[in-house]
Amino acid sequence: MTTATASSFAVLLDLDETLVLTSRIEPLRQLGHWREAAEALDQTSLPPKTREFVAKLMRVAQVGVVTMSPKSYAEGVLAFHGLNIPVLVGYHDVARRKPFPDPIIKALALLGVPASNAIHVGDRAEDHQAAQAAGVRSILVSWTGTSENEDVCRSWDEVLTSIRTILREPMTTGPDRYPMAAVKEGLLEEWDGDDYSILRYHPRRNGTSDVPSRLLLDFKNGDAGAEALLGELALTAFQRLTPVLRDKKKCTVIVPVPSHNANAPAGPCQRLAHNLAGQFDWLEFRPVLVRHTTVPKSATSRPGERPTQQDHLASMKISGSRLAVSDRSIIMLDDVITAGETSAAARQLLLEGTGCRSVIGFFLARTMNS
Q: Any idea where the domains of the chain sit in the sequence? A: 10-168, 186-367
Same topology, domains 10-168 and 186-367? Answer is yes
Q: Which of 217, 191, 183 has its CA nearest to residue 203?
A: 217
Q: What percent of the chain has pLDDT over 70?
A: 89
Residue 2, pLDDT score: 32
The tens digit of pLDDT for each residue in 136-191 reads 889 999 998 766 566 789 999 999 988 877 766 544 333 356 777 788 888 999 99
CB 306 within 8 A of CB 342: no
- DSSP-H helix ranges across the chain: 26-30, 34-38, 50-60, 71-80, 102-111, 125-134, 156-168, 180-185, 211-220, 224-242, 268-277, 309-315, 341-354
Provide CATH code, domain 186-367.
3.40.50
pTM listed for this prediction = 0.57
Residue 81, pLDDT score: 97
Mean pLDDT over the full length of the chain: 86
Q: What percent of the chain has pLDDT over 90?
A: 54
Does position 30 have pLDDT exceeding 80, yes or no?
yes
Give the whole-angstrom CA distance, residue 335 versus residue 315.
Answer: 19
The tens digit of pLDDT for each residue in 232-265 reads 899 999 999 999 999 988 999 999 999 998 888 7
Could you tell me what percentage of the chain is helix, strand and coil, using 3-state DSSP and rounding each to the nearest 5? Answer: 40, 20, 40
DSSP state string for 207-254: TB--HHHHHHHHHHTT-HHHHHHHHHHHHHHHHHHHIIIIIIS-EEEE
* 31 or 228, greater pLDDT: 31
Does position 4 have pLDDT exceeding 70, yes or no?
no
Residue 365: pLDDT band with limits 50, 70, 90: very high
User: CA distances (Å), 77 to each of 35, 61, 81, 96, 310, in order?
Assistant: 12, 22, 6, 22, 54
User: CA distances (Å), 186 to each of 64, 133, 217, 274, in order?
Assistant: 36, 38, 14, 25
What average pLDDT does the segment 342-359 reach? 92
Residue 204, pLDDT score: 64
Q: Which of 262, 314, 267 has its CA nearest to residue 291?
A: 262
* 174 or 202, greater pLDDT: 202
CATH superfamily of 10-168: HAD superfamily/HAD-like (3.40.50.1000)
Give the whole-angstrom CA distance, residue 89 versus residue 105.
Answer: 10
Give the whole-angstrom CA distance, residue 29 versus residue 109.
Answer: 28
Residue 75: pLDDT band with limits 50, 70, 90: very high
What average pLDDT does the segment 267-283 reach? 90
Does position 215 have pLDDT exceeding 80, yes or no?
yes
